[in-house]
Structure 1
Amino acid sequence: MNDERIEKPRELAADNMGDALAYLNSGKATAEERADIVRFMRETSQQSLRLAAELNGSYHEPEEVRTLFSRIIGRPVDDEFALFPPFTTDYGRNIHLGRRVFVNSGCRFQDQGGIYIGDDVLIGHNVVLATLNHDLAPARRQSLIPAPIRIGNRAWIGSNATVLPGVTIGEGAVVAAGAVVTKDVPANCIVGGVPARMIRMLTADELACECATD
């Protein structure tokens, strides 16, 4: 894909984008003392909402979907990336994808804290990846607390699952449909439920089958 087609938000300066991402990736809470970060996040969100409306508003060929998604995240995706709209994100610029990722319809990525998705990951219908939390104290509840979500290679996130801030999902792991993932998931582990708990590990036969396809 031609990088020249990945346009930057015209009114959002690149140095401001870098400052905002660095602050969000530090894990520090965004509060009144960093009103500039909150303001910039909101401006960036409006850009992403406009692009998402274009993506979701009518039919697009797969290449057009990749181009629009690349504009949302601010970097190109590989030619084997696939996404079925609708898709929504309330930031967009802190989504990082590996190769051959598939995202099914209805997914919502809240990526201010950073979403890192490995190679060959499958994400089912209506999955929510949420990287922001709020302080429990009512007086500080307007503060936003970012924490990244990391999804390892070949993981599979089932339909209607929710992954909460700070969670790492290991390589080859499976998150069952409807699960709410509040803690890290080991590699090659199947989890399900609310909150998600370990169901079992992948068997030797299942892992051998996976290796045979390499």
Structure 2
Amino acid sequence: MRTMHERMEEGLLFTDECEGLPEERLAAKQLMREFNVSDPSETEQRVKLLAKIFHVEEALASTFWIEPPFSFAYGSHISIGEGTYINVGCTFIDDGKLEVGKRVMFGPNVTIATVSHPINPEMREYMYTSPVSIGDDCWIGAGVTICPGVNIGDGTTIGAGSVVTKDIPDHVVAVGNPCRVLRKVSEQDMTTYNHGHPIDPADLAEERQLRNS
């Protein structure tokens, strides 16, 4: 017989009030509260808390950044790659596995869900998980909702306010409700920003000089 944890991992119907699951969520929410009320100057403390939340080494937790408030279900089912930035007000419901790649940028108030319920009203107490993955170098705009089972490819931009219900491929711009591919990332995107403003090497050199001064 499978355990409830195994049923969760395999995408089978489950409930979450046994096998220590309520205690896991409580412990996670206590860490979540501590992180969310921490002082912005307490960088080292925030890194320690992130390491505990995601069950990773502090060396990895120091390579990504999350702006409070941040909400999640367990934390331990989330993996985040180095260089990723998660802006304020994001909610990751991680009953199922949630993988975030490297150098991903999240706008404010992004919601990701890895769990759902049967449509049958008599079965609503049950849940099932579908993992979510986001590739490297993605930009997830403000207010995006990513539904269970979605995979987003490398280098893709999801426009603000989109509701992502199906997989989105690599290196595209996708927008809307439901989210659809608008176009591929183009050569022009590599040389311009902000509606055609050129990316000037001299300007970038100036920015780097200011950054390192």
Superposition TM-score, scaled by structure 2 size: 0.81
* Correspondences of 1:192-207 after superposition (within 5 Å): 192-207=175-190
Indicate how the Cα distance of structure 1 residues 207 and 22 shifts in structure 2: closer, same or farther if over 3 A, else same.
Answer: farther
Query: 5+ residue gaps in structure 2?
Result: 193-213
Q: Is 1:26 aligned with 2:7?
A: no
1:172 corresponding residue in structure 2: 155
Q: Secondary structure at the match of 2:68?
A: coil
Aligned equivalents of 2:100, 2:112: Cα separation in 1: 11
Q: Secondary structure at the match of 2:21?
A: helix
Deviations 1:11-53 (A, max 9, x none): xxxxxxxx6654422111214xx8635xx33221111111111
Q: Is 1:140 aligned with 2:123?
A: yes
Aligned equivalents of 1:43, 1:204: Cα separation in 2: 51
Q: Secondary structure at the match of 2:18?
A: helix
Aligned equivalents of 1:89, 1:138: Cα separation in 2: 25
**Which letter does structure 2 place at the counterpart of 1:26?**
E
- The 8 Å contact of residues 129 and 162 in structure 1, kept in 2 or not, is answered as yes
**CA RMSD, aligned part only?**
2.2
2:34 to 45, 54, 60: 54
Deviations 1:169-200 (A, max 9, x none): 00001111111100000101111111111111
Aligned equivalents of 1:46, 1:35: Cα separation in 2: 12
Query: How big is the shift at 1:105?
Result: 0.8
Deviations 1:101-155 (A, max 9, x none): 1111111110111110111111111110101100000111111110111000001
Q: Which moved more, 1:53-62 or 1:97-106?
A: 53-62
Aligned equivalents of 2:38, 2:190: Cα separation in 1: 40
2:22 corresponding residue in structure 1: 42
Indicate how the Cα distance of structure 1 residues 49 and 78 shifts in structure 2: closer, same or farther if over 3 A, else same.
Answer: closer
Query: 5+ residue gaps in structure 1?
Result: 1-18, 210-214
Aligned equivalents of 2:184, 2:9: Cα separation in 1: 32
Q: Is 1:67 aligned with 2:56?
A: no
Aligned equivalents of 1:81, 1:22: Cα separation in 2: 29
**Which letter does structure 2 place at the counterpart of 1:74?**
H
Aligned equivalents of 1:91, 1:57: Cα separation in 2: 18
2:166 to 156, 175, 183: 183
Query: How big is the shift at 1:206?
Result: 2.9
Q: Secondary structure at the match of 2:178?
A: coil
Aligned equivalents of 1:73, 1:58: Cα separation in 2: 17
- Among all aligned residue pairs of Structure 1 and Structure 2, give the percentage whose two residues are the same amino acid: 32
* Correspondences of 1:113-128 after superposition (within 5 Å): 113-128=96-111
Q: Secondary structure at the match of 1:191?
A: strand
Q: Secondary structure at the match of 1:36?
A: coil
